[in-house]
Amino acid sequence: MSSRESRAAIRVSSAGPADPLLVEDLVAANRILAKEGVLDGWGHVSVRHDRDPGRFLLSRSLAPEMVSAEDIIEFDLDNVPVDDRGRDLYSERFIHGEIYKVRPDVKAICHTHAPPVIPFGVTTIPLRPMYHRAAFIAAGVPIFEIRDAAGMTDMLIRDPQLGAALAKSISDKPAVLMRGHGATVVAPSLPRLVGRSIFLALNATLQAQALIMTQGGVINYLDPEEARLIEAREGYGLGRAWKAWKRKALQLP
């Protein structure tokens, strides 16, 4: 479905203006992840609307590093914009709505092509948590094989059916690798989404290093119980990094 077709007929009402701080954090998340090399010119980040769990916020089609508050558009969970004012939309917006539909715990979603995760998407080596910052990986990071869902494609999640297939693949996990494409990460808040997106990529780099160094020998990953205890308290302390990331990304004083 191309960016402007067959949208005119549908009318979606707004949940009202989102909290300006939430919008500011969404802009910050876009720019932080671009600065950290997690998002290239094509990835995107969304957040669930604070007034209505049936709406989410996502930029118009724009490189993440260029996103500002005025680029943010409200969508319903069928990925229909409330008012796009004729602007181009991300062709893969279906990733967002379809996951929000089936994952009420998810408040923020990032779709990324971060280079270090690409090799793990095309081999059979599972991602495992190397250290506390990547504890969420212990829950398991499945690989989405788009061929199983739709045969030969251009790899993009460009319709609701593919979005639903991806949502099914991520199941109750914090992230899913997309074979030959990238990954999608979910979280209960924007700061945790940014943390997970950064550490998914960093853990991939470090795990690859350990695998190569040991030539298949023993690696002492986090124990599932350690990971559970870390995740149970992760909110605390993340604010410290979030403040520094946001300051740099928004060039605050």
Assess 149 for contact with its own copies (CB under 8 A).
no
The size of the interface with its own copies (CB under 8 A), counted in residues, is: 69
Assess 159 for contact with its own copies (CB under 8 A).
no
Instruction: Report the 10 Å Cβ neighbour count for 123.
Output: 11
Assess 181 for contact with its own copies (CB under 8 A).
yes
- Candidates 121, 164, 170, 193; binder of its own copies (CB under 8 A) is 121
Q: d(Cα 177, Cα 7) in Å, to the nearest integer?
A: 30
**Coil, strand or helix at 43:** coil
* Token pair of 68 as six digits: 């500002």
Provide the Cα torsion 20, 236, 190, 42; round to 10°.
140
Which candidate in 5, 70, 92, 145 is catalytic?
Answer: 92
**At closest approach, how far in Å is the CB of 164 from its own copies?**
20
* Token pair of 247 as six digits: 């300051």
* Token pair of 196 as six digits: 């997970």
Residue 24 a catalytic site member: no
**At closest approach, how far in Å is the CB of 130 from its own copies?**
6
Contact by Cβ (8 Å): 198, 112 = no
What residues act catalytically? 92
Positions that interact with its own copies (CB under 8 A): 2, 40-42, 61-63, 65-66, 91, 113, 115-116, 118-119, 121-125, 129-133, 147, 152-156, 179-182, 202, 205-206, 208-223, 225-226, 229-230, 232-233, 236-237, 240-245, 247
